[in-house]
Amino acid sequence: MIMTALKQTHARISRLDRTLIIAVVLLSSIFPVELFSNTPPVPKGFDGQYSGKQGQVLVVKVKGEEQATEVKGTFLKRTIPFFREFRPGEPIGYVGLLGIDMQDEPGTYELAVEVKQGEQAKQLSFNVLVAKEKFIVEHLKLPKEKVDLDEKATARWKAEQEQVKQALAEDSRLKLWHSNFVEPVNGKRTGIFGSVRIMNGQPRNPHNGEDIGAPLGADVAATNDGIVRITVDHIFSGKGVFVDHGLGFYSMYFHLSEVLVKDGDLVTAGQIIGKVGATGRATGPHLHWGVKLNGARVNPYSLLELPFKNGSSPANSIATPSSETTSALEAVPVKQ
């Protein structure tokens, strides 16, 4: 009698257990992320802090996520894809290049990073301090028709902007670039990235690239491996080339006298893609070199100053926040 009662109780518990297990399995297949992220949200900036000036590039490193299947950051509504990094003798980590746009307002903003592992996801939070860069003011005198566009020229300019937007709408999801960046032309760097421009006495958009003075016909090289997305002959940029290096990183080369590549061509770092010229809105022969990183207009020379050396990945720590020349700053970790 007692034995029978015990057996019945045992059977009931087993049934209850089974029901509970099934319920949990079902729930976790419907709400896998919610179950995983039941842990309280991390305070903002908990995982580290970065700082940089307007127009600079930061190397963001997420360590110890060997099992991660995707790592993605969000900074000022821009998406920062991360890529896997391997260095001999060190655990695998993920690295992202974060561009600070030349017109991002100085202040502290959150870089939220989502680390996915299959169905599961967890959040990391970094603080990014954006510091003001001192941009120069340029006064330019240009032919009137190059500054005050008539209706026809305005329509042309708008159509050209749309054409570029369409051509660059889909980034290559493959990382095509590697760590050895090339300066595209041997010439005089003018240091006018981000300059406030006054054309014929009227304030205009800031200068979104760097100009390099070089003789007419000098070779222009691709800064890194990539795919030519579009070649143009536009009212302002003149003859130009847009190269997609993957993961939201583009480089642009304007005012060329000659373009030596076609849309869709694969190019390698150092490959000659055109010749220096003065086409479009230019006062004399020079190369306008521009770089966009996930939508942010950054100083192209920031790429050359990244802590990448001879195929290796980012250096571990460059903590020189006061340096004028170092554009890539590693995180100051608040926890390991």
Residues that bind Zn ion (CB under 5 A): 211, 288
**DSSP string computed for 70-124:** EEEEEETTEEEEEEEE--TTS--EEEEEEEPPTTPPSEEEEEEEEEEETTEEEEE
To Zn ion, the closest distance from the beta carbon of 282 in angstroms equals 8
Please, which residue, 94 or 193, has the CB nearer to Zn ion?
A: 193
Distance CA 223, CA 304 (A): 9
Distance CA 257, CA 285 (A): 9
To Zn ion, the closest distance from the beta carbon of 44 in angstroms equals 37
Please, which residue, 47 or 211, has the CB nearer to Zn ion?
A: 211
To Zn ion, the closest distance from the beta carbon of 262 in angstroms equals 24
To Zn ion, the closest distance from the beta carbon of 127 in angstroms equals 33
Nearest to 182 by CA among 245, 113, 107: 245
Distance CA 171, CA 8 (A): 64
Distance CA 306, CA 325 (A): 10
Q: Which two tokens stand for residue 305?
A: 């100053």
Please, which residue, 118 or 191, has the CB nearer to Zn ion?
A: 191
To Zn ion, the closest distance from the beta carbon of 321 in angstroms equals 29
Nearest to 249 by CA among 172, 313, 326, 179: 172
Please, which residue, 61 or 297, has the CB nearer to Zn ion?
A: 297
Please, which residue, 61 or 288, has the CB nearer to Zn ion?
A: 288
Please, which residue, 96 or 194, has the CB nearer to Zn ion?
A: 194
| Phi/psi of residue 64, nearest 5 degrees | 65, 35
When CB distances to Zn ion are compared, the closest residue is: 288
To Zn ion, the closest distance from the beta carbon of 288 in angstroms equals 3
Distance CA 115, CA 122 (A): 5
Please, which residue, 49 or 251, has the CB nearer to Zn ion?
A: 251
Please, which residue, 288 or 297, has the CB nearer to Zn ion?
A: 288
CB of 256 within 8 A of CB of 240? yes
To Zn ion, the closest distance from the beta carbon of 251 in angstroms equals 14
Distance CA 326, CA 53 (A): 10
Please, which residue, 29 or 283, has the CB nearer to Zn ion?
A: 283
To Zn ion, the closest distance from the beta carbon of 254 in angstroms equals 7
| Phi/psi of residue 81, nearest 5 degrees | -75, 140
Distance CA 225, CA 266 (A): 8
Could you say which DSSP state residue 332 is in?
B
Sorted by sequence, the CB contacts under 8 Å of residue 207 that are 6+ apart come out as 138, 192, 193, 194, 195, 197
Residue 139 pairs in a beta bridge with 198
To Zn ion, the closest distance from the beta carbon of 292 in angstroms equals 14
